[in-house]
Structures are given as C-alpha cells and as structure tokens.
C-alpha cells in the first residue's frame, strides 16, 4: 500500500524552494526566545530511535478520527488482525522525531509518505531519522528535510512499515 503526498520542494528533499516569506507568514507571532535550541543538524546525520512505542488502542483511535473502514475495527477482516490506521503510524513517527529533535517548530510539508507494510495492535514502532537537507530560512530558523524510516517489531521480526520524507522548521 502506498500513499503519496506532495507539498514543498521536490522528491529529492530540497527545502530551498520554500515560498518567499513562508516562515514569517506561517508563524509571525512565534516567541522564538521561548523555544528550545539544539545544535544545527548536518546533512547525513542520523538518529536511531530504538526505544520504540508500542501501538495500543488502535480501534479506539480509528473511531476517534471517524475512520469507519472495517480493516481498522474488525480483527477478523485481515489475516494479521485489525490494521492500525496509517495516520496513527505517522503520528507515532512524528512523536519519535520530536523527542529526538525537540526544537521542531512545525512541519512545513511532506515530500512523500510510503506505507510499506501493515502495522498491527501490539507492534512496537522504531524509527531511523536522517537529515537530507538544511537551509536557513529566517533569522535563526532552519528548514530541514528529513527521511524517517519506521519499522515494526513483532515477536522476533522487524519489518519496515513507513518511509516518510518531510520538511520541518527548527530553531
């Protein structure tokens, strides 16, 4: 299953094509002094998030988002059981990203998002985060393109489940 979404930049992950004034029209009233600061990320830098998140309450989360697809509620609809809604997999990936990069102010856009395999209740999700591009966009703010690869641990197996390319704004 593949979901494609495009926003800023190109498929190579370059953030240099942000529209002029993007940051200041997006967050003109941000109090940047109150935001955490971290060292400037470097292209090629990676973080392995091995302390994963166990996925729980999948049907409840699907109901809360008004997703009525039976594959998210009926444990007998798929051989692997009810599937976790893909948006919730992305949400856990973003949570892992912001725990490792606490100076993320906002997600500026998505380059692509590929769902590579199923995520099921009880899977533990782990991520690898890679910096693919860094640009200065405004006084002390950076636009950073990232590649986030998420895998699910189930039993003794580890399977890739998500490949996400996005751009974030950092302090």
Among residues 148, 143, 145, the alpha carbon closest in space to that of 162 is found at: 148
Distance, in Å, from the CA atom of 52 to the CA atom of 124, rounded to the nearest integer, reads 6
Indicate whether this model's pTM tops 0.85.
no
Residue 122 lies in a domain: yes
List the structure tokens of 15.
């953030």
Domain limits for position 90: 43-170
Residue 128 lies in a domain: yes
CB 157 within 8 Å of CB 129: no
The model's confidence at residue 160, banded by pLDDT at 50, 70 and 90, is very high
- In DSSP terms, 107 is beta-bridged to 168
CATH label of the domain that carries residue 69: 3.10.129.10
Q: Determine the average pLDDT of the residues in 45-49.
A: 93
List the structure tokens of 119.
């995520």
Residue 11 lies in a domain: no
Residue 21 lies in a domain: no
pLDDT at residue 136, as a whole number: 86
Q: Residue 82: CB partners within 8 Å, gap ≥ 6?
A: 58, 59, 71, 72, 73, 74, 75, 120, 121
pLDDT at residue 73, as a whole number: 54
pLDDT at residue 54, as a whole number: 82
Q: How many domains does the chain have?
A: 1
CB 82 within 8 Å of CB 113: no
Residue 73 lies in a domain: yes
Residue 16 lies in a domain: no
pLDDT of 46 higher than 80: yes
Q: Residue 132: CB partners within 8 Å, gap ≥ 6?
A: 12, 13, 43, 145, 146, 147, 165
Q: Determine the average pLDDT of the residues in 1-15.
A: 41
CB 159 within 8 Å of CB 117: yes
Helices within the chain (DSSP H only): 22-26, 58-64, 86-100
Q: Determine the average pLDDT of the residues in 51-63.
A: 75
pLDDT at residue 5, as a whole number: 40
| pLDDT tens digits, one per residue of 107-124 | 998 989 999 998 888 899
Distance, in Å, from the CA atom of 116 to the CA atom of 151, rounded to the nearest integer, reads 9
Residue 26 lies in a domain: no
| pLDDT tens digits, one per residue of 61-104 | 666 767 666 565 566 666 666 677 777 899 999 999 999 999 99
The model's confidence at residue 18, banded by pLDDT at 50, 70 and 90, is low
């Amino acid at each position: 299953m593949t979901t494609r979404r495009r926003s800023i930049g190109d498929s190579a992950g370059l953030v240099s094509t942000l529209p002029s004034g993007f940051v200041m029209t997006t967050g003109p009233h941000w109090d940047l002094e109150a935001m955490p600061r971290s060292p400037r990320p470097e292209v090629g830098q990676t973080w392995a998030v091995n302390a994963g998140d166990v996925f729980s309450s999948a049907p409840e989360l699907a109901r809360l988002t008004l997703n009525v697809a039976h594959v998210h509620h009926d444990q007998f609809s798929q051989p692997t059981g009810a599937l976790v809604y893909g948006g919730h997999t992305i949400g856990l990936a973003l949570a892992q990203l912001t725990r490792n990069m606490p100076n993320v102010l906002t997600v500026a856009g998505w380059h692509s998002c590929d769902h590579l395999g199923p995520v099921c209740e009880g899977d533990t999700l782990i991520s690898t985060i890679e910096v693919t591009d860094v640009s200065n966009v405004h006084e002390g703010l950076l636009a950073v393109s990232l590649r986030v690869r998420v895998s699910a641990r189930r039993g003794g197996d580890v399977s890739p489940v998500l490949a996400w390319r996005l751009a974030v704004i950092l302090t």
